[in-house]
């Protein structure tokens, strides 16, 4: 009978196998109670719940393997259950621990979710032992999971406990194991085993039949297999495993342990574990080991250092446990060591970085102590956190007495002053402020610079009493400038010319102590002048002009010549020789209406050529007994001229507004006509209702798709008609529009049922409900097949010569650029460019006519194509100039051979219009052996060589030599061309994005000027910018750059929501910064484009700042007062000091690309970037890293905390159209 209790005995039940297998395959965690009416087998004994091991423990997927091992060892369990969100996922057993270690997983770092769980069948707590036995027999797993009716884990039942209970309960079962009988002389087979209750000798007995020795052999074979598996794991596992005696002597080690420490197995087994332990770690290791032997611990895990054979040390995570016999007595210990040296190294490096950061903080404190300004810092609770020695002297307090105290409690006399208000505003709005305030108790003026910091505020201040008193001495000059500024501001605040003119007349009268000011407009129709506005000193004063200026007066003629007119009519009228009554040729309009004695000043208002728009007239009355008016000073005239210029700008703005309004009305009328034209043109319309995706078509849609009118097809059918290459993009764009409401503009090809292909354009926009949700997409679909054919033809014509059919200059340069890029990637490739100019072509063309000349060019193009290979390119550059690209060639002799063949084929006379014509050509040859790096250089070199060939005589070839290239001639050519580059619209701006590294948000662009030379193509800025600096053209280029950049950003902001927050960056050179008209040009650019000053950032190099720091500070402060952002470009490459950086009101530090490039190879590069970032953060400034070209550089900058970056890895500088396309799609990236 005892044999039946063996857990390895194979049991089976005839009719229950299928049902048991079904229940065993149920998904773990999907357990639910049986329905009330479900048939259940009769209960033949105790429930399975009576056998549940109630000590089973539940862990989540996030629990670590190490925690599971500690729970099993602490509670004496062989497994734990894993449950997540009420779902039972399986068991984690001792075997899973061994498998995880064998796979190289770190138990201290790996969660149960990353390991392999044991999927175990489940039974309900109300199931009988018979039902449980049937489920157990359907699988070879050693456990059953028991759940209660709600599906919650009840416990675990081992296989042996279930089998013993079945036998002990004496259940009425018929259990069998199928096997044939063993012949007497045959091999051993497993027999059929069965057991049942029977009546023997009037007693109920259990009759059982067991298997013979064959079962024992099978068990032994299984044990051998398990031993082999353990040995394989022991030998191959990536971690170190050692077996030691209770005394600590190493008994056995695996190869992983040998590799870890560098010793052989024999060397390690000759040592104790203390001998290979770092001396500093032996005490801790021995303490845990003694507690393990004493039974205080089931196992322990520590981090320690082993001694390596090479003399070094290896950090490991060591887990040690005891192996016991059946009586529970310890036999030996097992230790598992995981190499954690890399993690320890990272911890050491992190600690070193923290120490470096602390040292940086100490250096910053030393700097703050050494600056001459007084400085203190406040936290957000207004408590002092720092003050330097200079601040102690000014505040008459020691730092020890005020640190930690409240600023307002310590200095209550500050309350209510200007600096108190500014401090509160800086703290609340987190803005940098500069102000001056009078401190009564000190009887002194102080200048304060307040900067927000993450902790609170940083405040610099100094005594400026002497400077303040000096300011008072020039206050009268300031009042004059302020009055002028009020005039200018009044002009800028309004576009109503009546208001502007009235304000200007009133302010000028007050400013110049004039008794009369008027503004007149010249009427182009008759040339007469019409009075628009006037200001009189007193209402009782009569108008000083009986009528406006006549068109024929001398004064009017002088104004038409843009002259400034000064008159004293009263004095001239009192002179007999000049009295009007005594002059027979006197024109009465020359009199200024019998004005009181005084002086007139008339200044023309110049808006455009060829005549002034109007004039500004000012009269100053004569006073005193001599009745002589105060003469006009040069400063007065200059001031009035400035006001006149501003009035002219106001007039232009008003006219621009009126023109814009007229254009808007015309556009609206044009849109109405366009809508009607679209209706007549039968452009199809559609509507997609969300979220049902119900599609509605107009009749024109069916015609375009070639379908008969019927019920609207589904969206899938519409997409299926698209070309496979367009289908995915359309589907993605439609889905995105349904989610975000973005507009649609798609093009693609559709295949109609008759097999024809049509090109279509789909436009659409979202319709929203009252709460802003997208409810449908509506739009149009237009057949653009004809347009596509025309575009393809235009594309071909744009790249080919219409006369000869040969590729043109654009095509040639495109292929030449590709060849140059290919050479840059593979330097062993050789190519050549041949520049061909027909000799005496102009003579033939002029003498025989253009028709013969055209036929000659066609024939020459054909002959040139006959001497090159199929892959070579022959292009007509224009006129009688041709070019050939030979790519690749084996040697330069190949190009010379082609040149010889060109001469040979052209020597054959041509018969044109009955005439025999002889032609020759001069050929210039250049290759990538000459050192040129850009496509334009190769064409230029070949052109230069061609002219050398012409110098030799007609029909010659010449190979380019760098000596041919005359730097002086090229420089002169570039200088002359650059003079006209702006007028010819050859300059353009490219825009490089600047990205927020925290959320990958695009925050703005840097505008970079490019020169597209009509002959040499794109000329790099490094070539023409220094030339522009030397010649002074940089001022005109700079003004143009500022205007175009502001216009472009304002244009984006007018129709792109994602452009509203953008800032455009413009570089200022040294010469631009020294230009006295810099402020005016920037104001003009902002005023003309309407761009807000807070959307413009000016980037100045350090060299521009240090040439004249005081002037630079004044200019920068003026720009900053206008709200313009300021940044230092290429920071770290100049010679500016920390005090100068702090002195200027800058917001941005741009880290030079050289530091970014050197981060990967030079630790000093990283240190330099860290220093700049720390400096920027300390001064409340932002930092932008330039020249980011690799992913690793970007990752390093993010790790260092750099907030913003730009560079080719993020995006190269783009033309406006490409930049706008990038801006449109940026949120989807």
Range of the domain at 1222: 982-1228
CA 1036, 1041, 1046, 1052 torsion-angle sign: positive
C-alpha 689/C-alpha 1071 separation (Å) is 61
Per-residue pLDDT, 988: 92
907: nearest Cα among 862, 949, 955: 955
Count the Cβ atoms, other than its own, within 10 Å of residue 1080: 12
Residues 1019-1041 have a mean pLDDT of 86
Whether 339 contacts 237, CB under 8 Å: no
856: nearest Cα among 776, 917, 798, 898: 917
Domain boundary among 917, 939, 965: 965
pLDDT at residue 1046 above 90? yes
Q: Quick one: CA torsion of 348, 350, 355, 358, rounded to 10 degrees?
A: -170
C-alpha 166/C-alpha 159 separation (Å) is 11
Taking 3-state DSSP, the helix, strand and coil percentages for the chain, each rounded to the nearest 5, stand at: 45, 25, 30
Helices (H), 371-461: 389-395, 399-402, 407-410, 418-429
Per-residue pLDDT, 473: 57
pLDDT at residue 229 above 70? no
C-alpha 474/C-alpha 477 separation (Å) is 5
- Which 3-state string (H, E, C) describes 824-884? HHCCCCCCEEEEEEECCHHHHHHHHCHHHHHHHHHHHHHHHHHCCCCCCEEEEEECCEEEE
Tell me the pLDDT tens digit for each residue of 301-355. 999 999 999 989 999 999 999 988 877 888 889 999 988 888 888 888 888 777 7
| Domain membership flag for residue 479 | no
CATH number of domain containing 460? 3.30.450.20
| Domain membership flag for residue 1197 | yes
Of 500-504, 657-661, 1100-1104, the range with the lowest mean pLDDT is: 1100-1104
**Cβ-proximal residues to 307 (8 Å cutoff; 6+ apart), any chain:** 261, 275, 276, 277, 278, 313
325: nearest Cα among 227, 246, 266, 379: 246
Per-residue pLDDT, 1039: 93
- Which 3-state string (H, E, C) describes 238-263? CCEEEEECCCCEEEEECHHHHHHHCC
Give 35's pLDDT tier (boundaries 50, 70, 90): very low
Cα dist from 340 to 250, 437, 620, whole Å: 22, 61, 93
Tell me the pLDDT tens digit for each residue of 392-448. 877 888 888 888 899 888 888 888 888 889 899 999 999 998 888 887 767 788 888
Instruction: Give the predicted TM-score (pTM) of the model.
Output: 0.31
Which position has the higher pLDDT, 328 or 1118?
Answer: 1118
Residues 927-952 have a mean pLDDT of 85
Tell me the pLDDT tens digit for each residue of 828-860. 889 999 999 999 888 888 888 889 999 999 999
Are both 807 and 916 inside the same structural domain? yes
Give 177's pLDDT tier (boundaries 50, 70, 90): very low
The single-letter DSSP state of residue 277 is B
CATH number of domain containing 64? 3.10.580.10
Which position has the higher pLDDT, 275 or 584?
Answer: 275
151 — phi, psi (to 5°)? 90, 15
Residues 1208-1215 have a mean pLDDT of 93
Are both 784 and 851 inside the same structural domain? no
Are both 775 and 846 inside the same structural domain? no
What is the SS3 assignment for 307? strand
Whether 997 contacts 1226, CB under 8 Å: no
Per-residue pLDDT, 178: 43
What is the SS3 assignment for 112? helix
Distance of CA 83 to the CA centre of its chain: 42
Tell me the pLDDT tens digit for each residue of 644-692. 888 888 888 888 888 888 888 888 887 667 555 655 665 888 888 888 8
pLDDT at residue 41 above 70? no
Give 365's pLDDT tier (boundaries 50, 70, 90): low
Q: Quick one: CA torsion of 1202, 1207, 1213, 1219, rounded to 10 degrees?
A: -50
C-alpha 579/C-alpha 282 separation (Å) is 123
Per-residue pLDDT, 882: 96
Are both 782 and 810 inside the same structural domain? no
Give 93's pLDDT tier (boundaries 50, 70, 90): confident
Of 202-211, 475-484, 624-633, the range with the lowest mean pLDDT is: 202-211
Are both 203 and 243 inside the same structural domain? no
Are both 1037 and 1068 inside the same structural domain? yes
Are both 1038 and 943 inside the same structural domain? no
pLDDT at residue 1206 above 90? yes
pLDDT at residue 981 above 90? no
What is the overall mean pLDDT for the chain? 80
b vs e for 1204-1220, b when ≥16 Cβ sit within 10 Å of the residue's Cβ?
bbbbebbbebbebeebb
**Cβ-proximal residues to 1113 (8 Å cutoff; 6+ apart), any chain:** 1143, 1144, 1145
1036: nearest Cα among 1060, 997, 1009, 1004: 1009
Q: Percent of the chain at pLDDT above 90?
A: 24
Per-residue pLDDT, 1073: 85
Helices (H), 569-680: 569-573, 634-680
CATH number of domain containing 598? 3.30.450.40
Give 148's pLDDT tier (boundaries 50, 70, 90): confident
| Domain membership flag for residue 856 | yes
Tell me the pLDDT tens digit for each residue of 538-558. 766 655 554 456 667 778 788
Are both 819 and 911 inside the same structural domain? yes
Give 1187's pLDDT tier (boundaries 50, 70, 90): very high
Q: In the beta sheet, which residues pair with residue 94? A: none
Whether 1031 contacts 978, CB under 8 Å: yes
Are both 418 and 539 inside the same structural domain? no
- Which 3-state string (H, E, C) describes 680-749? HCCCEEEEEECCCCEEEECHHHHHHHCCCCCCCCCHHHHHHCECHHHHHHHHHHHHHHHHHCCCEEEEEE
| Domain membership flag for residue 214 | no
Q: Please, what is the end-to-end C-alpha distance for the chain in angstroms?
A: 74
**Cβ-proximal residues to 609 (8 Å cutoff; 6+ apart), any chain:** none
Distance of CA 383 to the CA centre of its chain: 39
Count the Cβ atoms, other than its own, within 10 Å of residue 594: 12
Are both 724 and 607 inside the same structural domain? no
| Domain membership flag for residue 347 | no
Give 32's pLDDT tier (boundaries 50, 70, 90): very low
pLDDT at residue 204 above 70? no
Give 53's pLDDT tier (boundaries 50, 70, 90): low
DSSP string spanning 520-573? EEE-TTT--EEEEEEEESSTTSPPS-SSPPPTTSHHHHHHHTT--EEE-HHHHH
Q: In the beta sheet, which residues pair with residue 118? A: 91
C-alpha 1207/C-alpha 473 separation (Å) is 51
Per-residue pLDDT, 1065: 95
**Six-digit token pair at 1170?**
């860290």
CATH number of domain containing 896? 3.30.70.270
Domain boundary among 790, 816, 850: 790
Whether 247 contacts 331, CB under 8 Å: no
Are both 46 and 121 inside the same structural domain? yes
Question: For the chain, how many structural domains are there in total?
Answer: 7
Residues 1134-1158 have a mean pLDDT of 79
Whether 737 contacts 715, CB under 8 Å: no
Ramachandran class of 1081: left when φ > 0, alpha when ψ lies in -120 to 50, beta otherwise: alpha
**Six-digit token pair at 38?**
């479900």
pLDDT at residue 1222 above 70? yes
Give 866's pLDDT tier (boundaries 50, 70, 90): very high
| Domain membership flag for residue 227 | no
Tell me the pLDDT tens digit for each residue of 772-826. 888 899 988 888 888 888 888 888 888 899 999 999 999 999 999 999 988 888 8
| Domain membership flag for residue 355 | no
C-alpha 211/C-alpha 176 separation (Å) is 11
pLDDT at residue 994 above 90? yes
Q: Percent of the chain at pLDDT above 70?
A: 81
What is the SS3 assignment for 66? helix
Residues 456-463 have a mean pLDDT of 88
C-alpha 916/C-alpha 1193 separation (Å) is 68
**Cβ-proximal residues to 189 (8 Å cutoff; 6+ apart), any chain:** 179, 180, 181, 182, 214
Are both 990 and 1093 inside the same structural domain? yes
Domain boundary among 908, 931, 965: 965
| Domain membership flag for residue 484 | no
Whether 28 contacts 90, CB under 8 Å: yes
């Amino acid at each position: 009978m005892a044999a039946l209790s063996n857990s390895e005995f194979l049991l089976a039940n005839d009719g229950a196998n299928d049902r048991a297998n079904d229940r065993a395959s149920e998904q773990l965690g999907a357990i639910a109670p049986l329905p009330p009416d479900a048939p259940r087998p009769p209960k033949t004994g105790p429930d399975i719940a009576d056998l549940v091991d109630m000590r089973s423990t539940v862990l989540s997927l996030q629990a670590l393997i190490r925690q599971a091992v500690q729970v099993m060892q602490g509670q004496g369990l062989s497994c734990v259950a894993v449950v997540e969100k009420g779902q039972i996922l399986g068991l984690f057993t001792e075997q899973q621990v061994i498998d995880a270690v064998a796979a190289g997983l770190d138990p201290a770092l790996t969660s149960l979710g990353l390991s392999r769980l044991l999927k175990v069948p489940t039974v309900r707590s109300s199931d009988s032992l018979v039902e449980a036995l049937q489920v157990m027999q359907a699988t070879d797993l050693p456990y059953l999971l028991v759940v209660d009716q709600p599906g919650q884990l009840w416990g675990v039942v081992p296989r042996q406990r279930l089998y013993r209970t079945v036998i002990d309960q004496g259940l009425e079962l018929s259990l069998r194991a199928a096997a044939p009988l063993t012949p007497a002389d045959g091999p051993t087979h497993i027999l059929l085993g069965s057991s049942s209750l029977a009546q023997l000798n009037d007693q109920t007995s259990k009759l059982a039949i067991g298997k013979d020795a064959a079962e024992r052999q099978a068990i032994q074979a299984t044990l051998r297999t398990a031993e082999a598996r353990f040995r394989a794991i022991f030998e191959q596992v990536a971690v170190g495993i050692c077996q030691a005696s209770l005394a600590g002597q190493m008994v056995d080690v695996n190869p992983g342990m040998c590799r870890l420490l560098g010793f052989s197995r024999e060397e390690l087994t000759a040592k104790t574990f203390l001998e290979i332990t770092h001396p500093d770690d032996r005490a801790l290791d021995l303490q845990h080991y003694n507690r393990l032997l004493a039974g205080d611990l089931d196992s322990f895990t520590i981090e320690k250092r082993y001694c390596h054979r090479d003399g070094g040390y290896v950090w490991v995570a060591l887990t040690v446990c005891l192996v016991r016999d059946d009586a529970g007595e310890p036999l030996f210990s097992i230790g598992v060591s995981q190499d954690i040296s890399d993690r320890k190294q990272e911890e050491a490096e992190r600690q070193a970085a923290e120490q470096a950061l602390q040292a940086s903080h100490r250096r910053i404190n030393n700097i703050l102590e050494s600056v001459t300004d007084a400085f203190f810092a406040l936290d957000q609770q207004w408590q002092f956190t720092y003050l330097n020695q200079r601040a102690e002297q000014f505040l008459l307090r020691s730092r020890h007495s005020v640190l930690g105290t409240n600023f307002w409690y310590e200095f209550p006399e500050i309350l209510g002053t200007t600096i108190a208000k500014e401090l509160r505003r800086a703290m609340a709005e987190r803005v940098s402020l500069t102000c001056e305030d009078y401190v009564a108790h000190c009887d002194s003026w102080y200048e304060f610079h307040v900067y927000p910091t993450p902790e609170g505020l940083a405040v610099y201040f100094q005594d400026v009493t002497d400077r303040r008193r000096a300011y008072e001495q020039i206050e009268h000059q300031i009042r004059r400038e302020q009055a002028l500024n009020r005039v200018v501001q009044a002009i800028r605040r309004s576009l109503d010319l009546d208001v502007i003119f009235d304000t200007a007349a009133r302010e000028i009268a007050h400013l110049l102590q004039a008794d009369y000011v008027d503004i007149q407009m010249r009427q182009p129709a008759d040339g007469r002048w019409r009075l628009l506005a006037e200001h009189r000193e007193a209402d009782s004063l009569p108008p000083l002009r009986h009528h406006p200026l006549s068109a024929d007066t001398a004064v009017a003629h002088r104004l038409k010549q843009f002259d400034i007119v000064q008159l004293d009519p009263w004095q001239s009228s009192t002179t007999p020789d000049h009295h009007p009554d005594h002059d027979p040729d006197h024109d009465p309009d020359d009199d200024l209406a019998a004005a009181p004695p005084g002086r007139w000043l008339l200044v023309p208002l110049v808006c455009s050529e060829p005549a002034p728009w109007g004039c500004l007239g000012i009269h100053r009355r004569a006073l005193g007994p001599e009745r002589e008016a105060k003469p006009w000073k040069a400063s007065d005239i200059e001031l009035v001229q400035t006001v006149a210029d501003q009035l002219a700008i106001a007039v232009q703005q008003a006219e621009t507004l009126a023109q814009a309004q007229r254009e808007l009305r015309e556009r609206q009328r044009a849109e109405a006509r366009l809508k009607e034209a679209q209706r007549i043109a039968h452009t199809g319309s559609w509507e997609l209702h969300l979220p049902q995706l119900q599609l509605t078509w107009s009749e024109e849609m069916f015609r375009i798709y070639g379908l008969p009118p019927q019920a609207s097809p589904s969206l899938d059918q519409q997409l299926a008609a698209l070309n496979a290459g367009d289908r995915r993009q359309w589907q993605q764009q439609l889905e995105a529009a349904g989610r975000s409401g973005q507009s649609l503009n798609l093009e693609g090809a559709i295949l109609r049922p008759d097999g024809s292909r049509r090109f279509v354009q789909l436009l659409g926009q979202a319709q929203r409900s009252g709460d802003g949700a997208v409810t449908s997409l509506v739009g149009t679909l237009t057949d653009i097949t004809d347009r596509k054919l025309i575009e393809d033809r235009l594309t071909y014509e744009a790249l080919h010569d219409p006369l000869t059919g040969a590729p043109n200059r654009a095509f040639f340069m495109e292929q030449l650029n590709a060849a140059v890029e290919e050479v840059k990637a593979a330097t062993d490739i050789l190519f050549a460019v041949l520049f061909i100019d027909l000799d005496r072509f102009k003579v033939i063309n002029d003498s025989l006519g253009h028709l013969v000349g055209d036929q000659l060019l066609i024939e020459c193009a054909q002959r040139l194509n006959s001497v090159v290979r199929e892959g070579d390119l022959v292009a007509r550059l224009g006129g009688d100039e041709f070019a050939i690209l030979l790519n690749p060639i084996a040697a330069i002799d190949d190009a010379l051979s082609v040149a010889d063949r060109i001469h040979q084929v052209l020597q054959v006379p041509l018969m044109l219009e009955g005439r025999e014509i002889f032609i020759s050509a001069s050929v210039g040859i250049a290759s990538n052996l000459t050192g040129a790096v850009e496509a334009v250089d190769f064409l230029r070199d070949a052109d230069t060589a061609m002219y050398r060939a012409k110098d030799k005589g007609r029909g010659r070839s010449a190979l380019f030599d760098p000596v041919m290239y005359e730097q002086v001639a090229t420089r002169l050519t570039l200088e002359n061309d650059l003079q006209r580059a702006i007028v010819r619209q050859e300059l353009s701006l490219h825009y490089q994005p600047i990205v927020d590294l925290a959320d990958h948000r695009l925050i703005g662009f840097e505008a970079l000027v490019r020169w597209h030379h009509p002959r040499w193509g794109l000329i790099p800025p490094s070539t023409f910018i220094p030339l522009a600096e030397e010649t002074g053209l940089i001022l005109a280029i700079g003004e143009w750059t500022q205007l175009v950049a502001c216009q472009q950003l304002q244009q984006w902001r007018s129709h792109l929501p994602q452009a509203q927050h953008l800032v455009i960056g413009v570089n200022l050179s040294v010469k631009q910064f020294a230009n006295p008209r810099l402020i005016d040009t920037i104001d003009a650019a902002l005023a003309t484009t309407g761009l807000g000053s807070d959307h413009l950032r000016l980037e100045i190099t350090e060299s521009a700042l240090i040439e004249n720091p005081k002037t630079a500070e004044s200019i920068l402060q003026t720009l900053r007062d206008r709200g313009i952002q300021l940044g230092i470009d290429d920071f770290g490459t100049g010679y500016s000091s920390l005090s100068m950086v702090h002195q200027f009101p800058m917001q941005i530090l741009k880290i030079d690309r050289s530091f970014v490039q050197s981060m990967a190879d030079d630790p000093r590069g990283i240190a330099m970037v860290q220093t700049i970032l720390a400096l920027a953060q300390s001064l409340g400034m932002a930092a932008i890293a330039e020249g980011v070209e690799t992913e690793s550089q970007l990752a390093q900058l993010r790790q260092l905390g750099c907030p913003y970056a730009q560079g080719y890895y993020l995006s190269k500088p783009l033309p406006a159209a490409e930049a706008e396309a990038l801006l449109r799609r940026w949120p989807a990236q």
